[in-house]
């Protein structure tokens, strides 16, 4: 069973909330959003996240925000997403201007040896200016902004 078959059913059981949350108003099982269909219960978060991933889910889906019944795909991660987020987190924070370079000193802090050209060491990043950090934040926001999928066939 795929979400595209039941997207309309799912979205009628939600309401948007401030902060990009999409709150589940449908049934719960042990305080977890579920969709009851044909005598079976399906985790609503799994269905919402699967609709927005280009790959199959890996492991359990967890919510990354503080809203207990949030099903917004941008607030959900599966095991692979959590692993990737943990791996890229320090680098991403540096690119957004929120932290020092996680890979050591920046290349322009060291004078190049005489007779050589100034070249970054492998794995070293230059300092990020406030303007670059703002541009990086905007690019990230544009990249993760939820994409609307067409759930019904276009009228001919």
Predicted pLDDT of residue 108: 45
Asked if 71 contacts 22 with a C-beta cutoff of 8 angstroms, the reply is: yes
Predicted pLDDT of residue 85: 81
pLDDT at 109 over 50: no
Cα distance between residue 130 and residue 138, in whole Å: 12
Predicted pLDDT of residue 133: 75
Single out the residue of 78, 90, 84 nearest to residue 49, CA to CA.
Answer: 78
Task: Specify the residue for token string 């370079």.
Answer: 101
Predicted pLDDT of residue 6: 58
Q: How confident is the model at residue 99 (pLDDT cuts 50, 70, 90)?
A: low
Predicted pLDDT of residue 93: 72
């Amino acid at each position: 069973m795929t979400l595209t078959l039941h997207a309309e059913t799912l979205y009628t059981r939600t309401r948007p909330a401030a902060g990009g949350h999409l709150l589940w108003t449908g049934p719960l099982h042990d305080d977890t959003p579920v969709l009851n269909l044909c005598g079976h219960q399906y985790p609503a978060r799994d269905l919402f996240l699967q609709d927005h991933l280009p790959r199959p889910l890996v492991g359990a889906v967890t919510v990354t925000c503080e809203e207990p019944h949030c099903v917004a795909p941008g607030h959900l991660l599966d095991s692979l997403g959590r692993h990737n987020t943990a791996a890229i987190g320090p680098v991403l924070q540096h690119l957004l201007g929120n932290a020092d370079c996680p890979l050591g000193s920046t290349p322009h802090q060291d004078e190049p040896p005489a007779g050589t050209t100034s070249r970054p060491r492998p794995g070293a990043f230059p300092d990020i200016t406030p303007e670059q950090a703002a541009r990086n934040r905007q690019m990230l926001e544009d990249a993760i902004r939820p994409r609307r999928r067409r759930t019904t066939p276009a009228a001919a």
